Amino acid sequence: MKEEILRVENVIRKINGITYLNNITFQIFKGEIMGLLPLDNHGKSQLIELIIQNVPVHFGRVYFDDQLVNYYEHSSMTRNRVYLIDKETNLIQDLKVADNICVLNHTFSDYIIHEKKLQRVAAGLFQQLGIELDTDQYVSELSLLEKTIVELVRAVLNGAQLIILNELSNFLSIEELAFFQRLLRYYTQKGISFLYIANHHEEAFQICHRVMLFEKGKIIKIIAEKDFSDEILQPYILSFGRHQVTNGQHNQTGVLKCQDLWTENLKGLSFSAKKGECITILDMNNRGIQDIAAIINGFRQPESGRIVVGGKEISLAPGRNLFLDGVAYIPENPVQESLFFDISYLENLTFMLERKLKRSIIPRRVLWGIKEEYRPLVGDEIEAEDLWGLEMRSLYNLVYLRLLFYKPKVVFIMQPFSHADMYLRRRIIELINMVKAKGIAVIILAVSISDTLSITDRLLIMEDGKLVSSGQRLADLPAYVANQPQ
Amino acid sequence: MGNEKKQSKLKRIVAKRGMGQVITVTFGLVGLIIVFSFLNPFFLTSRNISNLLRQIAPTLLTGIGQSFVLITGNIDLSIGSVVGMSCMISATLMTKGVVPWVAVLITYLASLLMGLLNGKLISKAKLPAFIATLGTMTIARGIAQIVNNNYNTDSIGEAAEGFQQFFYYGKTLGLYNTIWITLVIWLIFNFLLSRTRTGRHLYAVGSNLHAAHLSGVNISSTITKAYLVSAFCATTVGLITTATSGMGTMDAGNGYELYAVAASVIGGVSTLGGQGILLGTVVGASIWGVLQNGLQFAGAPVAIRNIVIGIIVIITVLMDIFVRSNKRIGKAKTSADGNSSPALKHKL
């Protein structure tokens, strides 16, 4: 009989009257990779918190390693031997790998540090995995994959019996993910269990032993490995379909030309985009797209190459904001990184209006006009005094409506579907389609295909900073890309 | 083989975080010494060097304390006032006939309480370090004033001669005791910072508070330790000041907290936390001392000296920000969201 590491029984968790976990029941066995497929994000972070720490629950029981650790009458707030790995690393960037693994560890008891000894221990742990990693390096010098591996090794050394992996495909490229999944299989043989949270069933089906569907704080289905198929999920998931390329788009004039861009991670990148065209640049190694973003944001100047927007070459001097040249950028977490929560919805929408109108004082009638123009699209939220309390969908609306308002010639979007649940992903697709319909060229920078094929007119695949292939049809793509979740 | 080992050891030392800036500012220090020695031949005499080292000692000691605090991502504005407070407490006690070494002990205890208060206000009461230490700065200065009824003390007298010899006037192996005291304190705290678990915890707290907490680091205790070190160093400077002047002065240590920040930052300790080594603080304090001493010899008025030193501090902080932002871009490029190392690449 299989041993359980975690059993959650009929747990109801309410916070401020809102039910985040609604009668949740499931168990995870030792050495098992359990998938979690959240159809929406309601209750997801509360579930993660419940597993990590014995927080108060309204009803139900939680058993960890056969011990009752949390129940409705008593929640001790203690932490279980659970480790969370996601993009926000829990490593100390300014310390070395060996320090992170050995010293910042509950089991480390030496007071005096012997660096060589630490490095020997840490290097030994990586050697067991067949990985050569310089443990004398500072964590800040590592790639995201390396950081993720260090976190995994550290978690195991810290005695974690269950490791939660939160949306790995948001920050690991296709190749990196495949490599990391091999490590997960290795550790399952050692009895370590994983809760693998993924946004796409194809990704979860590749690695998990079972998969739970999670919606509105409830587990609506648990699927065993033998039943893994697209058909079984049909009743539960939205199908976005694949976008068909229209010939009309290709008759449009080119609005963006990137010519022979060279940086440390871009090796002569050249491509062009037409008005209203959507291009996805899929970075197989997770290298070049960060350089593209850095150039667009003025953080980095290319060694050579030029960008032409609307027939005019734009300056790529460091510190220059290309927004004024008609190039917009939407970061990976646009809500956190591009909105101002303490000012009103309308002020957010019209934030750069004075630049657009080239006047320092905006008459109230202009603002009133804008408000009424956007009211049908936004609804009464246009009256919101601040952004606190607005739903994620409304905040994403604001991010993309700003584009419609300012009408840049081209927009670069970094991983648009990152952290978005299924319903939000559908809304993002609608919003990007609205942007395209306005004639704005859309360049999506991605490490996984995710849902981008639903809106992409052309897919450019980048490997080691070079564009290696492109295609409009899935059949045109290399197998390792075509097999990824869509 | 031996040569290779030496090379790899050298490489490791150079690769140590913060060592780059230390090497850069060391070149700057050497340059300053060369310039001042040309401007005034007396500058490089053994007598001036000995005096210069003794002059650097208080800045270095307060710099050590401030570096500990800065590494945790905080700041200690109370250092100067603690210098004044310990100067007044020790001198007052000695003038009242308390045995000097008992007075020294009481002074250390009183000042460490101030460090403890700083640490707890910041780590437990969650007060911003700037505000908390601004408050304790005023409190400590108030204590310095109140301890002898708003007067500087009289001379600490002949009974305290041993105390004065130990802290300032005496020499051991041809070097002033002040220099030896500073050296010993630097060695102890450098060991604590670079070779112990506490040192790693200090860096961890300054680098990522949340991650440090999740890693089992006791945040409150770690921050408090940094402030205790700072208070200890400030007290030592206060005692040196008492020994120097032979009396307690209420405004002793005025502005020392800023000299301490300058010494730390010039030496590569980041004001953002998580980075810096005490070797850098030595170089930073030395630059500070050499500039003061050299400009004085060059006949520069005090106002010009202050302007020059201020400009150098700003330039150094700007360099720190520039280097850090470049690194961040580099990280974005090569790692974070980037690149696999060659070590891993062939495995993928």
Q: B273's torsion region: left (phi>0), alpha (psi -120 to 50) or beta?
A: left
B215 and A110 within 8 Å at the Cβ level: the answer is: no
Contacts with B197 from chain A: Cβ below 8 Å: 103, 108, 110-113
**Of A183-197, A200-214, A241-255, B141-155, which range is least confident?**
A241-255
Confidence band for B348, pLDDT divided at 50, 70 and 90 = very low
| Mean pLDDT of the region B15-44 | 85
User: CA-nearest residue of chain B to A446?
Assistant: B337
Q: What is the Cα–Cα distance from B292 to A204, expressed in whole angstroms?
A: 66
Complete DSSP assignment for A330-383: E-SSHHHHH--TTS-HHHHHTTTHHHHHT-SS--HHHHHHHHHHHHHHHGGGGG
Rank A163-177, A295-309, B225-239, B325-339 by mean pLDDT and report only the highest. Answer: B225-239
Contact A104 B208 (CB under 8 A): no
Above pLDDT 70, what percent of chain A?
A: 93
Q: Please state, in angstroms and rounded to a whole number, the distance separating the CA atoms of residues A263 and A307.
A: 14
pLDDT at position A307 is: 93
Closest CA to A396 of A308, A350, A331: A331
Residues in chain B within 8 Å Cβ distance of A294: 329, 332-333
Distance from CA of B207 to the nearest CA of A (A): 6
**E strand spans, A126-232:** 162-166, 193-197, 210-215, 218-224
Judge: B210–A132 Cβ closer than 8 Å, yes or no.
no
Of residues A482 and A442, which shows the higher confidence score?
A442
Neighbours of A333 (CB within 10 A): 13
pLDDT in tens, B289-336: 999 888 888 888 988 888 887 887 788 767 766 766 665 545 444 443
Q: Which residues of B touch A108 (CB under 8 A)?
A: 197
In this prediction, what percent of chain B has a pLDDT beyond 90?
62
Task: Please state the rounded mean pLDDT for residues B172-194.
Answer: 95
> A261: closest CA among A271, A252, A253?
A271
| CB contacts, 8 Å: B207 with chain A | 92-95
Write the single-letter amino acid at B14. Answer: V
Element spanning A202, H or E: helix A201-207
Q: What is the pLDDT of residue B197?
A: 92
Query: B146 pLDDT exceeds 90?
Result: yes
Q: Is B338 helix (H, G, I), strand (E, B) or coil?
A: coil
Of the candidates A94, A133, A145, the beta carbon closest to that of B275 is on A94
pLDDT score of A451 more than 50: yes
pLDDT at residue number B172: 93
d(CA A158, CA A155): 5
Selected from 3.30.1330.10, 3.20.20.30, 3.40.190.10, 3.40.50.300, the CATH number assigned to the domain covering A4-233 reads 3.40.50.300
| Partners of residue B331 in chain A, C-beta under 8 Å | 140-141
How far is residue A476 CA from its own chain's centroid? 26
- Listed in order, the ranges of chain A carrying CATH 3.40.50.300 are 4-233, 247-339+387-482
Greatest mean pLDDT among A250-264, B98-112, B147-161: B98-112
Residues 203-232 in B contacting A (C-alpha not used; CB under 8 Å):
203-204, 206-208, 210-212, 214-217
CA distance A123 to B312: 43
Say if the Cβ atoms of B348 and A175 lie within 8 Å.
Answer: yes
B335 at interface of A, judged by CB pairs closer than 8 A: yes
Q: What does each C-alpha distance from A77 to A54, A63, A90, A264 come to in angstroms?
A: 5, 14, 20, 47
Strand (E) or helix (H) holding B285: helix B278-297
User: B195 to chain A: which residues are within 8 Å by CB?
Assistant: 112-113
Chain-wide mean pLDDT for chain A?
A: 88
**Rounded (10°) CA dihedral B321, B323, B325, B329:** 180
Architecture field, domain A247-339+387-482: 3-Layer(aba) Sandwich (3.40)
Tokens of B185: 């304190």
Contact: A95, B333; criterion CB under 8 Å:
no
Q: What is the pLDDT of residues A395-423, one digit of tens each?
A: 999 999 999 888 899 999 999 988 888 88
User: Do B334 and A92 count as a contact with CB atoms less than 8 A apart?
Assistant: no
How near does any CA of chain B get to the CA of A456, in Å? 23
Q: What is the largest CA-CA distance in chain B?
A: 76
pLDDT (mean) for A107-113:
87
| DSSP secondary structure code for residue B231 in this structure | H
User: What does the block give as tokens for B336?
Assistant: 């974070």
pLDDT value, residue A319: 74
* Chain A residues whose beta carbon lies within 8 Å of the beta carbon of residue B274: 92-94
A210-215 vs A466-471, strand pairing mode: unpaired
User: Residue A452 has what pLDDT?
Assistant: 80
Confidence grade of residue B42 (pLDDT, cut at 50, 70, 90): confident
Residue B325 has what pLDDT? Answer: 61
pLDDT at residue B347, rounded to an integer: 42
Residue A446: strand pairing partners: A282
A/B interface, count of CB pairs below 8 Å: 138
pLDDT on residue B98: 94
Quick one: pLDDT at residue A468? 83
pLDDT score recorded for residue A41: 85
Q: Which fold has domain B38-319?
A: ABC transporter involved in vitamin B12 uptake, BtuC (1.10.3470)
Lowest mean pLDDT among A259-273, A353-367, B103-117, B188-202: A353-367
User: Does residue B1 have a pLDDT over 50?
Assistant: no
**Cα torsion angle, B330, B332, B336, B339, sign:** negative
The percent of residues above 90 in pLDDT, for chain A, comes to: 54
Please answer yes or no on whether A131 and B329 come within 8 Å at the CB atom: no
Stronger pLDDT, B265 or B16, i.e. the higher one = B265
**Average pLDDT of span A45-54:** 95
* Separation in Å, CA of A352 to nearest CA in chain B: 26
Q: Cα(B325)–Cα(B162) distance, rounded to whole angstroms?
A: 51
- What is the pLDDT averaged over residues A473-483? 49
A251: pLDDT strictly greater than 60: no
Q: What is the per-residue pLDDT for B311?
A: 87
- Check residue B276 and report its DSSP letter: -
Question: Which secondary structure element, helix H or strand E, spans residue A70, and what is its range?
Answer: strand A67-71
pLDDT of res. A358: 77
pLDDT tens-digit profile of A337-350?
889 999 899 999 98
Contact B125/A at CB under 8 A: no
Which two tokens mark A353? 């209006």
Mean pLDDT value of segment A347-368: 84
Question: Two tokens at B150?
Answer: 């708003």
Cα–Cα dist A159/A83, whole Å: 9
Taking the CA of residue A286 and the nearest CA in chain B, the distance in Å comes to 5
For the ranges A194-198, A299-303, A353-357, B169-173, the lowest mean pLDDT is seen at A353-357
For residue A424, pLDDT beyond 80: yes
**Per-residue confidence at B4, pLDDT binned at 50, 70, 90?**
low
Q: Residue A282: which region, alpha, beta or left (left: phi > 0; alpha: psi -120 to 50)?
A: beta
Q: In this predicted structure, what is the pLDDT of residue B342?
A: 39
User: How far lies A448's CA from each of A176, A435, B36, B339, in Å?
Assistant: 11, 22, 61, 15
- Phi, psi of A386, deg, nearest 5: -150, 180
Is residue B7's pLDDT more than 70?
no
Which residues on A lie below 8 Å from B17 (Cβ)? 94, 138
What is the predicted pLDDT for the residue at B6?
A: 58
Q: Percent of chain B scored above 70 by pLDDT?
A: 88
Nearest to A139 by CA among A109, A108, A111, A104: A104
pLDDT digits (tens, 9 = 90+) for A310-332: 889 998 887 777 888 889 999 99
* B24–chain A nearest CA distance, Å: 20
Nearest to A462 by CA among B100, B62, B113, B338: B338
Rounded CA separation A100/A95 (Å): 7
State the pLDDT at residue A266.
Answer: 92
- What distance in Å separates residue B15's CA from the closest CA in chain A? 9
Would the pLDDT of B344 be above 80? Answer: no
Mean pLDDT, chain B, rounded, equals: 87
